[in-house]
Each structure stands twice: as C-alpha cells, then as structure tokens.
Structure 1
Amino acid sequence: MERLQKIISKAGAASRREAERLILAGRVTLNGRVVTELGTQADGEQDVIAIDGVNISAPKEKLYFLLNKPKRCISAVRDDRGRRTVIDLLPEVEEYIYPVGRLDYDTEGLLLLTNDGDLMNGLLHPRYEIEKTYIAKAQGVVTGEDIKKLCRGIMLEDGMTAPARAKLLERADNGSWCRVQLTIHEGRNRQVRRMLQAIGHRVQELKRVAFAGLTLEGVPRGGYRSLTGEEVARLKKIAGTAAGKPAGNARKES
C-alpha cells in the first residue's frame, strides 16, 4: 500500500505536488469514490484510481516527448474552461502523459511530456537546479546595469531570485523594445516576466528555447518529437533517477 499521490506520480499522471492539489480539489476517485484526504492509502495494482473520470495505471511503456508549445495553449491535461491543452497537440498518443512543469498560457516554447513520474519529479526538484533558457521581447531597452542586476538576482515579492545568466540579443532602432536571453534554474510562477518587470521592462513575448540541455531544433511551433534513448538517459542522470531512485517531491515550475 502507498499514498495515493505517490501512486498517481508513479503512473506519470501528475507530479506529487500536483497530485495533492488534484486530491484536495476532489478530482480523484478511488474505486469509484471521491477522495480528498492526502493520507489515503491505495494499492496501485489492485485499486481503480481515476482523475476527472479517466482511469490511470502504471504505464506499460515509458514515453518521453518534446513539444514546441504555441501561445494560447494550457500546460495541463484538461481545462475546465474548454481551452486547448498541450495534450490536444499530441492526438496520436493514447497513453496518459503529463507535462513536466508548466508554461504560461501566452508563453511558447519547449515543454516536455512524459508518463515517467520519477523523472518528472526529478526534473522539477529544486535540488538539481535544472537550467531553463528563455528569450523575452520586452518594452524599452535593457541596459548593461539591468543585465548585471539580472545576473546578481532580483528581489521579488516572494524573495530574491538566484543568480541568472542574461544577455541582450537585439534592440529596436527607436529603443521601443529589445530581446533578452535569460537562463534560470528556479521554478517560480511567471518568474522571467516578474524579473524583467521588476527592473522596468514589461515582457511582450516570451519563449522557452532550452530545458535541461534540450533545444527546439527541428521542432516547428505546435509540433513534437520523441526523445532519443541517449537524451532520456542524460535527463535521468541529471535528475537523479538514473539508478531508479525517486528524486523526492517535485516543485511546480513556472
């Protein structure tokens, strides 16, 4: 017997933290009965567990996909408001898969999807400091002093950010906008947007171009591809799951 949220995570249906949120929201059933207690125990082999009416089970085959998420698309399995989700972009995939972290509705770019709960938890765990690189189009022109501030860390309402890597890529001739590349390893909500806003530059467009060493090369907007065996092995190594040991509770990514 194991805790319900752990079984859900192992099945690749959600990270443990997301599974806890689903349970508390009354969206999980155990043998047909709604469960809202986080301490609930279950047998992953014998019990019937469902999320929003969809049965989950330990995946027969581990699947790993890299998606180039477009704007106006939800990083979730389903949306109560009927908006398009990232799962809708992979109609040929019949197994239950789940996005590794989230990109905002209006943010585009690289997003991984898998049914490997241990890898998902590892990639989202703060101890492994998985790098994520974004390109932002922002109002005005980021100055050299602004770049230094981003690299040192920015004080936000939820505390100081960790040091980042930042550089100016492009600027409009009239100084109305610029493009900035920013690499972070934290997973705070809307972190890149808030960091740039804090130094006076509102983000107009945002795209994640790299995650854990993977890039969007060869993947068009709205398209996806399977990860290679070498890529999966490398992800497991940096996420602390290469030996088959779970990395611990995951943290939601922004």
Structure 2
Amino acid sequence: MERLQKVMAQAGVASRRKSEELIRRGRVKVNDETITELGTKVSPQDEIEVDGVPLEREAPVYYLLYKPRGVISSVKDDRGRKVVTDYLPEIQERLFPIGRLDYDTSGLLLLTNDGSFANKLMHPKHKIDKVYVIKSRGIPSKEHMKQLRKGMEVDGEFLKAESAHILSTDGKKNSAIIEITLHQGKNRQIRKMFDALGVPVDKLKRERYGFLDLHGLNAGDSRPLKPHEVKQLRQLADENVK
C-alpha cells in the first residue's frame, strides 16, 4: 500500500505537492469514490481516476541515453524531427526525459516513467551536479570565468555556474575547451551565458550527471540504470537538501 499522492506523482500526473492539491479539491477518485483525505493509501489493484481519466500505472523504469546532436529532448515533435524516445523503440513503458538537452547539445540524458523521481532530480534545490564540456568560439578571459562562477543576469534570469575552468586553448583556431558544472537547468543556459560574455558556444556536451557518466557508450546508445544507481541518485538528492 502506498499513499495516493505518491502513486499519482510516480505516474507523472503532477508533483507530489500538486497531486495533494488535486486530492483536496475532490478531483481524484479511487474505485469510483471521490477522495479528499491526504492520508489515503492505495494498492496496485485499486482503480484511480483524475478528472475522470483513469490512471495508468506501470512499473517504474529508468534509462540513461547518450543523446546525439540534432535530437529533440521530447517524446514527440510536430515538425517530424527525431526525439529521444526514438532511440529506445523496444521500451513499452511511457518514457519521458528528466529535464532536457538542447537540440544542438549532445550527452547524458536520463529517461523514466517515474514522475516523482524526475521532479526530485530536476529541482535545483537538490543540487545534482550536471557537468558539461564546451568548445567555444573565442578564448574566455579570467574575468569571464569569474563572471560565470559569480553569476549574471541574462534576459531577466539569474544564471550561475557552480564551477567553470578552462581545460585547453588553441590560439591558432581561437577556441577553448571548457568544463562547467551547473545545478540550475534553465533553457539554453550555457549558451546564453557565453553569448552574454561575447564568447559563443561552438559545441556542447553533457559529460556527467551526478556520479553517472557516458563510459562505454556511443552517441545514440542507451542502457537501463541499475537498481543501486537509482537508489544512489535518490540518496544524493536527499543529502543535498539537508
């Protein structure tokens, strides 16, 4: 038996807090009975409806994908472009990405059908390290690197790197390889920050997510997360909040 709001969150209806609001507002039924008590527990056999729509419950699954460039971090695209779930066609569960990588960004992306798990990892308060490697057009100065770590306002948003350092430079090509770590996950955050500095991003790849990396994978490859990895991600998120 599990709490109703937890089951709803895992099914991707909404976050646990928003699921609680739906329950309090009388928008949820269990076995055709309207439920408003937050302590209600349900079993796998119970039939749940939200706004009259039956809740589809699946066993939670978790995957790591090496997303190639030129792929949308979504489950469908109205322009017919490739999406990340195209690389896991054999998976029967309704997968969705945890966060997103831009169309032109490659690297490590997690996918799941566990909404509660996804919401936990995506919230910046959990401070999951997301490590990127950038090839820039231009060589950033020491002041530029300090600005990345200090943070900056771009288009009304405060954008900040947790760490940033130059790995190498190429004076002839006027380019640099830079490693940057984020906790935030704003749309096109790294590109916006570097554009604001006048050092545009040429290539961008997410190398690590927490303790996970792309070891042994080529672009387009995927693998299921191991049970201990899922447990470790949950623990990492919880520890960072304390």
State the TM-score, normalized to the length of structure 1: 0.75
For 2:15 and 2:80, the matched residues in 1 are separated by 25
For 1:185 and 1:98, the matched residues in 2 are separated by 20
> What's the offset of the Cα at 1:159?
3.3
Aligned to 2:130: 132
Q: The residue matched to 1:210 in structure 2 has which SS?
A: strand
Q: Determine which of 42, 67, 88 is the counterpart of 2:28.
A: 42
* Residue deviations 1:43-89 (CA, integer Å, cap 9, x gap): 472448999xxx86111x21111000001111111111111110010
> What's the offset of the Cα at 1:160?
2.9
- The 8 Å contact of residues 49 and 56 in structure 1, kept in 2 or not, is answered as no
Aligned to 2:68: 70
Cα 1:48/1:176, change in 2 over 3 Å:
same
Stretches of 4+ moved more than 4 A in 1?
A: 14-17, 48-51
- The 8 Å contact of residues 99 and 111 in structure 1, kept in 2 or not, is answered as yes
Q: The residue matched to 2:238 in structure 1 has which SS?
A: coil
Aligned to 1:208: 206
Give ranges in structure 2 of 5+ residues lacking alignment: 20-24, 31-46
Q: The residue matched to 2:167 in structure 1 has which SS?
A: strand
Give ranges in structure 1 of 5+ residues lacking alignment: 21-38, 242-246, 248-254
For 2:135 and 2:161, the matched residues in 1 are separated by 20
Aligned to 1:28: none
Aligned to 2:149: 151
Aligned to 2:83: 85
For 2:28 and 2:172, the matched residues in 1 are separated by 62
- The 8 Å contact of residues 137 and 174 in structure 2, kept in 1 or not, is answered as yes
**1:169 aligned onto 2:155:** no
Aligned to 2:37: none
Cα RMSD (Å) of the superposition? 2.9
* Residue deviations 1:4-50 (CA, integer Å, cap 9, x gap): xx83x4214x7649x99xxxxxxxxxxxxxxxxxx782347244899
Q: How does 1:212-251 map to 2 (within 5 A)?
A: 212-240=210-238
> What's the offset of the Cα at 1:145?
2.0
Aligned to 1:24: none
Q: The residue matched to 1:149 in structure 2 has which SS?
A: helix
- The 8 Å contact of residues 108 and 213 in structure 2, kept in 1 or not, is answered as yes
* Residue deviations 1:96-139 (CA, integer Å, cap 9, x gap): 11100111111110000011111101001121121111111111
Aligned to 1:250: none
Aligned to 1:188: 186
> What's the offset of the Cα at 1:154?
2.2
Question: One-letter code of the match for 2:62?
Answer: Y
Question: One-letter code of the match for 2:228?
Answer: E
For 1:50 and 1:103, the matched residues in 2 are separated by 34
Larger radius of gyration: 2
Aligned to 1:111: 109
> What's the offset of the Cα at 1:143?
1.8
For 1:47 and 1:146, the matched residues in 2 are separated by 52
> What's the offset of the Cα at 1:163?
4.6
For 2:26 and 2:163, the matched residues in 1 are separated by 43
More deviation, 40-49/115-124? 40-49
Cα 1:49/1:67, change in 2 over 3 Å:
farther
> What's the offset of the Cα at 1:155?
2.5
Cα 1:240/1:193, change in 2 over 3 Å:
same
Cα 1:163/1:203, change in 2 over 3 Å:
closer
Cα 1:43/1:220, change in 2 over 3 Å:
farther
Question: One-letter code of the match for 2:80?
Answer: G
For 1:108 and 1:92, the matched residues in 2 are separated by 22
Across the two proteins, how many residue pairs are aligned to each other?
215
**1:58 aligned onto 2:57:** yes
**1:11 aligned onto 2:15:** no
Question: One-letter code of the match for 2:28?
Answer: A
